Structure 1
Amino acid sequence: MAAVLAAMAIAFHAVTGNFLTPENLYNVAQQSAVVGIVAAAIALVIVERQIDLSVGSVLATVGVLVAWLIYTKGWHWAPACLAGWAVAVAIAVYQGWLTAYLGVPSFVVTLGGLVTFRGVAFLISDGRTQPVTDATFLLIGGGLDGAIGVTGSWALGILVCGWLAWNAARRRRLAVQHGFTPRPLLLDVLYTGFFAVAVLGFVAAMCAYRIPSKEAPQGIPNPVLIWALVVAFIAFLVNRTSFGRYVYAIGGNPEAAALVGIPVKRVMLQTFVLLGTMVAVAAVVAVSRLNAGTNSLGSGMELYAIAAAVIGGIALSGGSGTVLGTVLGALVIQFLESGLLLLDVSVGHRMLIIGQVLIVAVVFDVIYRRRTGERSQ
């Protein structure tokens, strides 16, 4: 998938001449953040053999509520965001309880939620845009000052590269301690080096972009930083906690998971609550980026989030895939969007192409699993 991403970037740059410019890459990174945050969490729901089609509508409900509380009711942005999070969790508990404890198919529950909560968003705003002008709140979504600067970006990049090297050495040491043969040293060096170069290249691109009205370059934008923290947190849950192991066990075989004592219903509900929390985070970022909340916020988000997860390697049949893969999936979607936009492709044709890319990704997933002997349906 990384190779596909690189090929797309080179092809679009060859055709347009300005795809790989710092300005475009900076915008692509920011635009990918909202979808990436939702995709990282919806990946776990899909791993459990469930689905959530309401994420876009819930994002609109939370976003409009936060903007309405700030603009119309005069709330400070912090309690307004907490109120939005509480509503997102309440919705997640409602839909998760219907799915996990009553056994109603998540497709049906969240399909109803897709329509219902879009209507709720409209009722909250009464169809009117709710502008937000709080300077501190707007930093969350990027903008003129919503980045950590050159020094902070390079420091963070070097820190991540150091962690990559430490983690590779730790894996080799643990493999030896437990009697396993570690991977060839050259392979580990190349693997770690590839990601280190990718991180430093990304930092260099972000630090090369400067808004004309400012003297200093931007650095890594805040939405991307929030996205990275969300992915790191969910990856930690998956790889370092029993909750993460339970999620994959349930996705692999729910009946077997129940028989060995895994609390299937509770874990499933917790997964929906985690998704609700991340949708609330994405809603805050989206409202901050747009400087306003509208009832059309998050339209089509369910398509992009699910597409990013599937393209990133999450199996629709459940039980397999990685959270980190959703990052590549989100970037593939946004690369397509940005490249087609630079080519002046119409909205209708862009939607057609992205929809077909999703189908191709699912077809590839099914064929690959059949050939490797994995369960594909």
Structure 2
Amino acid sequence: MSQTDLDLPSATRTRNVFQTLEIDLRLLGMVGAFVVLCLGFDLATGGLFLTPRNIFYLTVQTVSVAIMATGMVFVIVTRHIDLSVGALLATCSAVMAMTQTQVLPHWLGLGFDHPLTPWLTILVGLLAGTLIGAFHGFLIGYLTIPAFIVTLGGLLVWRNTAWYLTSGKTIGPLDATFQKFGGINGTLGSTGSWVVGLVMTAAALFGLYSARRNKVKHGFAVKPLWAEYVLGGFAASVILGFVATLNAYHVPLRKLQSQFKARGETMPEGFTQAYGIPISVLVLIALAIAMTILARRTRLGRYIFATGGNPDAAELSGINTRMLTVKIFALMGGLCALSAVVASARLTNHSNDIGTLDELRVIAAAVIGGTALAGGVGTIYGAILGALIMQSLQSGMAMVGVDAPLQNIVVGAVLVLAVLIDILYRKRTGSA
């Protein structure tokens, strides 16, 4: 840091440091709010909130909403809304439950826990979700029915379609391999988690190196090396710290004994086994990377943000905004189906109330994550962080004994507050 920087007021120096690191102040504020939230609940629960066990379950519970929130970013960016995501999740869950318990055994003769069952089930679910989403997009894009009306109708239609598909019954237990996508029944263990953590750390560091090299290659300004080291160290610390935390949560002794007994073996004295990273979290990470690449590096992503920024100009420039709407809602439908895989696998069955109020949680996650309701602005990582904040808020309130109705009141109030903060922030920064 130069002598000139030292002569500046502390607030100005701090702002200059953040500018040098190229850190989004809004994102930093969200991270700060999340940290304060976690510390507050940890104090209120006597240190129970930040235990490895609770962090593991908090992570698993966040995945379903976070998956849909990544798609909701594109929907809101293009100045639409989707109120049917929870109901569509329920329909996709019902379709997959009936597929693996009724259709495949009776039509193809595949027995329970057949190796092909989970993959055919997921394929059917993704196809159903994508087609329903595309149908919504057609009604909105080509028939010009407002998205609010189409998806509000979809909320009623698909929630009750799910009920009729299963005759109002809970369907389960689901296929054992299928259940691995839910989290608790499918984890990597200690060794596998460390391998994934090291690979992710190496990928993050290589990404920073590649970005710096590309900037130098094309003559753009780059951050000082100390800033690169700080960002790289922070990324590595977060990734490896997360892996270490999940590995610190061990499988209960009784469950291990039952597993050994089922195999006809005797559990060795002092044997322990860590859960590690859930498979559902790996799915979310892979999806986050894919959606970020889609948003930043593809023509479709550029069209989405251009249309959200100025729909009339986008159409005049040759973008087929009607077909774009179909693609966005088809993608949203597919993500609802993927979320249904995770949600039903975590519960080990399909139930009638699956996905209830997820519409609120998904929209809130996207908005809290910085997606502007006016369109044109939004990030995938912001939506995932928003989903984590929402789930932390609900889990923390449940742990301190807040009633469910009051939890929903708080979540609704937080959503309104997040929109207000977003409006004030954009006015202050001139990005409104």
Instruction: State if a TM-score over 0.5 links the two structures.
Output: yes
- Asked if 1:63 corresponds to 2:93, the answer is yes
Moved more, 108-117 or 183-192: 183-192
- Structure 1 residues 149 and 102 mapped into 2: Cα distance closer, same or farther (>3 Å)? same
Matching residue's letter, 2:142: Y
- Asked if 1:51 corresponds to 2:108, the answer is no
Superposed CA RMSD: 1.3
Mapped partners of 1:158, 1:363: distance in 2: 40
Mapped partners of 1:177, 1:82: distance in 2: 43
- Asked if 1:96 corresponds to 2:137, the answer is yes
Mapped partners of 2:184, 2:98: distance in 1: 21
Moved more, 69-78 or 257-266: 69-78
Name 1:165's counterpart in structure 2.
Answer: 205
Name 1:186's counterpart in structure 2.
Answer: 226
Name 1:154's counterpart in structure 2.
Answer: 194
Q: Structure 1 regions of 5+ residues with no counterpart?
A: none
Name 1:136's counterpart in structure 2.
Answer: 177
Name 1:105's counterpart in structure 2.
Answer: 146
- Asked if 1:328 corresponds to 2:385, the answer is yes
Moved more, 51-60 or 223-232: 223-232
- Asked if 1:33 corresponds to 2:73, the answer is no
Asked if the contact 1:95/1:109 (under 8 Å) is kept, the reply is yes
Name 2:166's counterpart in structure 1.
Answer: 125
- Identical aligned residues as a percent: 40
Mapped partners of 2:235, 2:33: distance in 1: 16
Moved more, 202-211 or 165-174: 165-174
SS in 1 for 2:42: helix
SS in 1 for 2:187: coil
Residue from 119, 128, 132 that aligns with 1:87:
128
Asked if the contact 1:55/1:279 (under 8 Å) is kept, the reply is yes
Moved more, 185-194 or 286-295: 185-194
Shift of 1:133: 3.7
Name 1:371's counterpart in structure 2.
Answer: 428
SS in 2 for 1:292: coil
- Asked if 1:348 corresponds to 2:405, the answer is yes
Shift of 1:9: 1.2
Asked if the contact 1:63/1:283 (under 8 Å) is kept, the reply is yes
Mapped partners of 2:120, 2:174: distance in 1: 16
Asked if the contact 2:135/2:326 (under 8 Å) is kept, the reply is no
Asked if the contact 2:63/2:281 (under 8 Å) is kept, the reply is yes
Mapped partners of 2:190, 2:99: distance in 1: 34
* 1:69-80 superposed matches below 5 A: 69-75=99-105, 76-80=117-121
Mapped partners of 2:368, 2:94: distance in 1: 30
Asked if the contact 1:68/1:293 (under 8 Å) is kept, the reply is no
Aligned length: 374
Shift of 1:191: 2.2
Name 1:306's counterpart in structure 2.
Answer: 363
Mapped partners of 1:183, 1:266: distance in 2: 40
Q: Which has the larger radius of gyration?
A: 2
Matching residue's letter, 1:177: K
Asked if the contact 1:9/1:335 (under 8 Å) is kept, the reply is yes
Name 1:3's counterpart in structure 2.
Answer: 32
Matching residue's letter, 1:172: R
Asked if the contact 1:70/1:132 (under 8 Å) is kept, the reply is no
Q: Report Cα offsets for 1:143-179 as digits up to 9, x if no partner.
A: 24x1011111111111111111111111112112222
Q: Report Cα offsets for 1:196-244 as digits up to 9, x if no partner.
A: 2111111111110112123310100111111111111111111111111
SS in 2 for 1:220: coil
Asked if the contact 1:61/1:295 (under 8 Å) is kept, the reply is no
Moved more, 94-103 or 53-62: 94-103
Residue from 260, 273, 284 that aligns with 2:317:
260
Mapped partners of 1:221, 1:14: distance in 2: 27
Name 2:301's counterpart in structure 1.
Answer: 244
Shift of 1:189: 2.1
Mapped partners of 1:327, 1:368: distance in 2: 20
